[in-house]
Amino acid sequence: MFDILLSPDAWASLATLTVLEVVLGVDNLIFLSIVAGRLPVHQQKLGRRLGLIAAVVTRLGLLASAAWVVTLTDPVFVLEDFAVSWRDLLLLGGGLFLLAKSTLEIHESVEGDPEEDLGVAKTTKSMLAMVVLQIAVIDIVFSFDSVMTAVGMSDHFEIMATAVVIAVIVMIFAAEPVSAFVEAHPTVKMLALSFLILIGVSLIADGLHFHIPKGYLYFAVAFSVGVEALNLWASRRRAARAGEAPER
C-alpha cells in the first residue's frame, strides 16, 4: 500500500482516472438532477445525496468484481452473425430506458402530469425509493465503460476506488448548484433532457455494435451549451435594458 503512495505512476493514474470519472459522471449528474427534481422540495436534496451514495456503492461494487465485469463482453448467444453479450443487453436496456424516461420528462414538463391534475399523488417514501432506484440502475449503465477503462488503466483497486470516491465528492458539491440552475431555467432543462436522449441513442448504437465516437457527442453538447449560454446572456441584457429604460 505504501509503495503505491510513493509511485509517480500511481499518482498519474489516480489523476487521470479521477478526471475520467468526473467527465463521465456529468451525464449521471444531469440525470440525477432532473429525476430528483420530481421529488417534493424538502426531499430533493436527500434524494440527490442518496442517489450519489448509490452511485458510489454501484461503482465500487463493479470495480471489486472487475474480473466478472470483463466476462460480460463474452457472447451469450448469436443471431446469425451478430454476437450478443450481457454488455450489449445492458447498453440496449439502459439506452431504451433513457429514451423513455427523457421523453416522459419532456412531456410532463410541457404538458403537465395528468396524475397530479386528477389529484392522484404517490407517497413521498415510494417516490424517494423510486428515484434512488432509477439513479442506481442508470448508474450501472453509465459506469460500465468507465469501469472497463479504469481496469485497463490501473491494476490497483485502491487507486480506482479512490478516483471514484473523489469524483463522487466533486459531484456532491456540484449537484446542488447544477440542480438549482436546471430547475430555474426551463430551456436548460429541455436541453439537458435532449442530452440524455442523445446519450440513450449512443448507448443503443453501442449495444448494436455501431460505435459513435464520443468526440461527436461532446462537440454537439458543447455547441448546444454555448448557444444556450449566449441566449441566457442576451436575455439578461434585454432584461437589464428594460429595467433601466425611463418610464413614460
Q: What is the pLDDT of residues 152-192, one digit of tens each?
A: 555 666 777 777 778 878 887 888 888 888 878 788 888 88
Q: What is the phi/psi pair of residue 113, to 5°?
A: -95, 115
Buried b (16+ CB within 10 A) or exposed e, 108-133: eeeeeeeeeeeeeeeeeeebbeebbe
Q: Which residues contact 151 (CB under 8 A, 6 or more apart)?
A: 63, 66, 69, 70, 160
Q: Answer yes or no: is 245 within a domain.
A: no
Residue 118: its pLDDT value, please? 40
| Half-sphere exposure of residue 225: CA atoms within 13 angstroms, side-chain side | 9
Residue 3 lies in a domain: no
Distance (Å, whole) CA 173 – CA 3: 31
Q: Is the pLDDT of residue 4 over 70?
A: no
| Mean pLDDT of the 96-105 span | 87
In the chain, the number of structural domains is: 1
Q: Give the position of cell 470483463.
A: 70
> How much is the pLDDT for 214?
75
pLDDT of residue 161: 76
pLDDT at 50 over 70: yes
| Nearest to 163, CA basis, from 3, 2, 4 | 4
Helix (H) or strand (E) run with residue 78 in it = strand 75-79
Is the residue at 34 inside a domain? yes
Structural domain including 162 reads 9-212
φ, ψ for residue 245 (rounded to 5)? -65, 135
The pLDDT of residue 70 is 64
Output the pTM of the full model: 0.72
Do the Cβ atoms of 51 and 131 come closer than 8 Å? yes
pLDDT digits (tens, 9 = 90+) for 116-148: 544 444 556 677 788 888 877 777 777 766 666
Q: Is residue 53 part of a domain?
A: yes
Confidence (pLDDT) at 134: 81
Q: How confident is the model at residue 7 (pLDDT cuts 50, 70, 90)?
A: low
Mean pLDDT across the chain: 76
Q: Is residue 233 part of a domain?
A: no
Mean pLDDT along residues 62-72: 69
Q: Is 121 left (phi over 0), alpha (psi -120 to 50) or beta?
A: beta
d(CA 129, CA 102): 19
**What integer is the mean pLDDT of 25-34?**
78
The verdict on residue 228 lying in a domain is: no
234 belongs to a structural domain: no
**Sign of the alpha-carbon dihedral angle for 201, 204, 208, 211:** positive
On whether residue 199 sits in a domain, the answer given is yes
Task: Please name the residue ranges forming H helices in the chain.
Answer: 2-5, 8-36, 41-64, 66-71, 86-111, 114-117, 124-153, 157-184, 186-207, 214-244
